[in-house]
Amino acid sequence: MLKVNDLEVSYGAIKALKGITFEVKSGEIVTLIGANGAGKSTTLRTISGLLKAKRGQIFYKGDEITNREPNEIVAMGIVQIPEGRRTFPDLTVRENLELGAWTIKSRKVINDKLEGVYELFPRLKERRGQLAGTLSGGEQQMLAVGRALMAEANLVLLDEPSMGLAPVLVDEIFEVIERINKEGRTILLVEQNAEMALQIANYAYVLEVGNIVFEGEAKTVAQDPKIKAAYLGA
């Protein structure tokens, strides 16, 4: 579904990605794990079109999408849930969700999707008239996920969904990720919480300072002694 080939991205003179190649197969949960500064977020931001690639290509369903504008990429069916949630604080929950459906023109489709999100997160329905900035951290993460689900997207990019959340909420978010995957969406998950990510993922790539240093079935990666020592604290 998504193929990234020899992708290089730099911030000025600093190379954040030094030519990475990976693939996300349709229907899977694929995770990119790695330490701070490994280039995980950079990868997602480049796929979404927020950053420009210096070299290499990105293909989605066979079409090259390298360096397209973010709005075109969303319209093609790739949506990102950004790090730090980034809801629209002075807009209501409902307005936030409806903005998620920006690329959809049919009012009926939007309303159906809205109902779907409310079903998944009843809390958001209760708070639909409330300003997003007044929600708790966990609720805002739900809203960020809900907003992404409003888009007509087959591929969901998640950037550190567990960041800053209480453990019980982390479990809840990972359950939601598994659920939206089962409903047919493909997931590319970036996480520092490698243990949780490897539990739900099918396949994993390990990033270290801009290079992919290890890859394999998530179960195999979780058993690898080097990975265990470096990322799983065992």
Mode of pairing for the β-strands spanning 63-64 and 211-217: unpaired
* 108 binds other proteins, rule: CB under 8 A: no
- Judged by beta carbon, residue 59 or residue 102, the one nearer other proteins is 102
Three-state DSSP class for residue 6: strand
Residue 122 buriedness (CB in 10 A; 0-12 / 13-18 / 19+): exposed
Among 41, 66, 80, 162, binds other proteins (CB under 8 A): 80
* 92 binds other proteins, rule: CB under 8 A: yes
Q: What is the contact mask toward other proteins in residues 21 to 60, using x (rule: CB under 8 A)?
A: ---------------------------xxx----------
The residues near 15 (Cβ < 8 Å, ≥ 6 apart) are 8, 9, 210
* 66 binds other proteins, rule: CB under 8 A: no
Q: How far is the CB of 214 from other proteins (least distance, A)?
A: 29
CA 87 to mean position of chain CA atoms? 15
Number of residues that bind other proteins (CB under 8 A): 31
Q: How far is the CB of 151 from other proteins (least distance, A)?
A: 7
What are the two backbone dihedrals, phi and then psi, of residue 213, each rounded to the nearest 5 degrees?
Answer: -105, -10
Distance, in Å, from the CA atom of 9 to the CA atom of 11, rounded to the nearest integer, reads 7
Q: How far is the CB of 167 from other proteins (least distance, A)?
A: 26
Find the helix or strand (DSSP H, E) in which 142 lies: helix 137-149
Binding footprint of other proteins on the chain (CB under 8 A): 48-50, 69-71, 74-75, 79-80, 82, 86-92, 94-95, 98-100, 102-103, 128-131, 147, 151
